[in-house]
Structure 1
Amino acid sequence: MTLDMWALVSTLFKFGSYVGVSVALGTLLFVFLYRPALKRQIKFISVMSLVGAVSTVGYFLLQVGAFSQSGLLGMFDVDILKLLYATGNGDLLIFRAFGLVYFAAVWSVLNKILLRSHWSVTTSLLMPAIMSVLWSFSTVGHISDLAWYWQGTLILHIFVALAWIGSLQPLYKLVEGVDTKQVNYTLHQYSKIGTGIVILLLAAGLSLTYKLIILDNNQDSIEYLIALLSKVTLVVIMFGLAAYHKFNLAEKLKKGEVDKNKVALSIKRENIIGYSVLLITAILTTVVGINH
C-alpha cells in the first residue's frame, strides 16, 4: 500500500470514528428533545456506533503498521502494538472503542427502556459511553499536552459540534414522518437548544483556534490553515442554514406556506454539510494537522 493510499484509508477510518461518536451524541440530544423520533433510528444508531468502534480499532492498527514500516502485516506486529498501546494512542483506542461498543450494546438491548424511562434514567445508562468517547479526544495530539482548561474547552467544542451534527438525521426523519403540529413544536424546541449550541461552539472554537494558531505560533502551517479555513467555511454555511430553518422555513411551516418535506430536505442538506465538516476534521487530524 502506497503512502497516499495509507493516508486515505487512515482518514476514512478516522472519519468513521467521528461519525460513530456524532451519532451517539446526537442520540443523547434527542433524549431531551423528542425521544419518540428515535424509534425510527434504533438499528441505524446501533450500527453506526459499531462502525465508529470498528473504525477506531482500524485506525489504531494502521498507526501500528505505519510505525513498523512493514506494510499491512506490520499492523499486527506485537512489539509495536504493545509500544503504541502504552501511549495516548492506546488510551484513545480503549476509551473510544469501549464507549461506542457500550453505547451500541446498551442501545440495542435496552432501547425500549431507554425510550420509555425518565430522561434521567436514560442519561444515566448512556453517560458512561458519552464520558468515555469525549475523554478519548484529549488523550493524543497537540491538545494532550495543554492545560486542563484547554482540554476542557476541546471536549466542550467536540460535544456541542458532534451532538449538533449527529442530531440532524433524526431531526429530518422526524420532520418527514410525523404530523405538522408535532414538527412545529419540535423545531421550536430544537431552535432553543440550537441557539445554545451555536454560542458554545463559537466560543470554544474561537478559543481553540486562538490557542493553536496564535498563542502556539502556528501561522506558517499553510496546509493546516487552508484546511481549517475550508472547515470554518462549511460551519458558517451550517450556521446560515440553521438560521434559515429557524427564521424562515419554520415560520412559513407554522403558517402553512411551505410543505414540511421542503423543511426536511433543507435539514438533510445541512446534515450532508455536517458530515463534510467531520471529513475535513479527519483530514486535519490525520494528514495536515498540527503535529498530526
Structure 2
Amino acid sequence: MISEMWIYATWLIKVFLYLGVSFVIGGVFCYLLLSHYIELKRIIIKYITIGTGLGLISSVLGFFILIGSFANTGLSGMWNSNYITILISTPTGYAHVIRSISFLILLIFMVVKLSTGTNQISKAEGTIFSLLITQIIFSFSQLGHVTNLSLFAQILLSTHVLAISLWIGSLYPLWKTSRLMNGFPLKERMHLFGKIAAFIVGVLLLCGASIALLLLKDFNTLLHTPYGHGFIIKLLFVLSILLLAAFNKWYFTPRLQHSKFANQLGYAILFEMSLGLAILLTTGYITTVVGIE
C-alpha cells in the first residue's frame, strides 16, 4: 500500500513537472513569436513565471518523494537524512538537484521581471535563460528509461521533450492571442506559428519513433504488455492532436479575418489543450506507474 502511494505521488508530481517545463518552453517561444504585442508579452511573462514555480515545486517534491519511497516509512521517510545523503551523491540525485536549482534561478529571474514591470529580456539574460532550460531538458534523459542507453538516445529524448513542451506549452498563449487579437494580425501570427509547428511536428515524430524503436524491442512488447498498451493509447492521443492541429492550420487560419472563425479557433485550441494534458498524463502513467518490461 505504501509503495503504491509513492508510485502514484510520483506520477502526479511528474505531470506537474511536464506542465511546468511546457509553460516555460512554450512561453518563451510565444514571447518571441508575439514580441510586438505588449499586452500579450505581459501575460506570457506571468505564464512563464507560473511554469518556473510549478517546475521548482515538482522538482523538489520529486526528490523528497523518491527519498520517501526508498525509506518506505510513511511521509516521515521523505526527510530521512541517511537516504538523502546517499541519493544526493548519485547521478540521479545530482540530476534532481541541478534541475531544482535551475528552476529556482529561473523563478527568481521571472519574479524580478514581474516586480519591476520589465517586459524586455536582454541578450545576456536570454543566454542564461537558454542555458538553464537546456539543463532542465537534458535532466529528463538522466532520470528516465534511456539513462542506460547511448548518448545519442539521450539526445533524442531531450529533443523530443523540447519539441513536445514547445508545442503543448504554446497552446495557452495562442488561445489568449485568439481572444485578444483579430483580423489580419491574428491570421499572420497563426500562419507563422503553423509554419514553425510543421517543423516541430516533424522533429517530434522522428525523435518519438526513434525512441520507441530503442525501448520497444519487438511487437510483443507493444501488444502484450501494460507499457505497450499505454503507449498505444498515448499514440492515439498524439494522432488526435495532430489531426486537430492540421485542421486548425488548413481550415481556421486562412479564415481568421472573420471574427466568428477566430472564436471557433479559440474553442479548437482549448480542445487541443485537453488532448495535450491527456498526452502528459498518459506519458507520466506509463513511465511511472506501469514502467517498461
Per-residue deviation, 1:23: 0.8
Give matches, 1:127-276, under 5 Å: 127-214=130-217, 218-219=221-222, 222-254=225-257, 256=258, 258-276=260-278
Partners of 2:7 and 2:85 lie apart in 1 by: 22
Partners of 1:270 and 1:92 lie apart in 2 by: 32
Per-residue deviation, 1:215: 7.1
Partners of 1:221 and 1:79 lie apart in 2 by: 40
Contact 2:22 2:51 in 1 (8 A): no
Per-residue deviation, 1:30: 1.4
Deviating more after overlay: 214-223 vs 51-60 = 214-223
Deviating more after overlay: 219-228 vs 6-15 = 219-228
Q: Return 5+ residue gaps in structure 1 as ranges.
A: none
Matched residue type, 1:40:
I
Partners of 2:198 and 2:136 lie apart in 1 by: 24
Partners of 2:117 and 2:218 lie apart in 1 by: 48
Partners of 2:121 and 2:88 lie apart in 1 by: 38
C-alpha distance after superposition, 1:54-78 (max 9, x if no partner): 1111121111111112111111111
Deviating more after overlay: 109-118 vs 268-277 = 109-118
Contact 2:23 2:48 in 1 (8 A): yes
SS in structure 2 of the partner of residue 145 of structure 1: coil
Matched residue type, 2:15:
F
Deviating more after overlay: 215-224 vs 132-141 = 215-224
Q: Does residue 10 of the first structure (1) align with residue 7 of the second (2)?
A: no
Matched residue type, 1:24:
V
SS in structure 2 of the partner of residue 214 of structure 1: coil
Aligned to 2:280: 278
C-alpha distance after superposition, 1:223-244 (max 9, x if no partner): 1011111111111111011101
Percent identity (aligned): 27
Give matches, 1:27-46, under 5 Å: 27-35=27-35, 36=37, 37-46=40-49
Q: Does residue 66 of the first structure (1) align with residue 77 of the second (2)?
A: no
TM-score normalised by the chain length of structure 1: 0.91
Q: CA RMSD in A?
A: 2.3
Per-residue deviation, 1:171: 0.7
C-alpha distance after superposition, 1:264-292 (max 9, x if no partner): 1111111121122111111122111227x
Partners of 2:224 and 2:185 lie apart in 1 by: 48
Matched residue type, 2:269:
I
Aligned to 2:21: 21
Change (3 A) 1:243 1:219: closer
Aligned to 2:120: 116
Change (3 A) 1:175 1:220: closer
C-alpha distance after superposition, 1:168-225 (max 9, x if no partner): 1011011111232221111011001101011101110000001110279855761101
Deviating more after overlay: 193-202 vs 178-187 = 178-187
Partners of 1:207 and 1:49 lie apart in 2 by: 29
C-alpha distance after superposition, 1:6-41 (max 9, x if no partner): 322221111111111111110221133113323123
TM-score normalised by the chain length of structure 2: 0.91
Partners of 1:114 and 1:186 lie apart in 2 by: 23
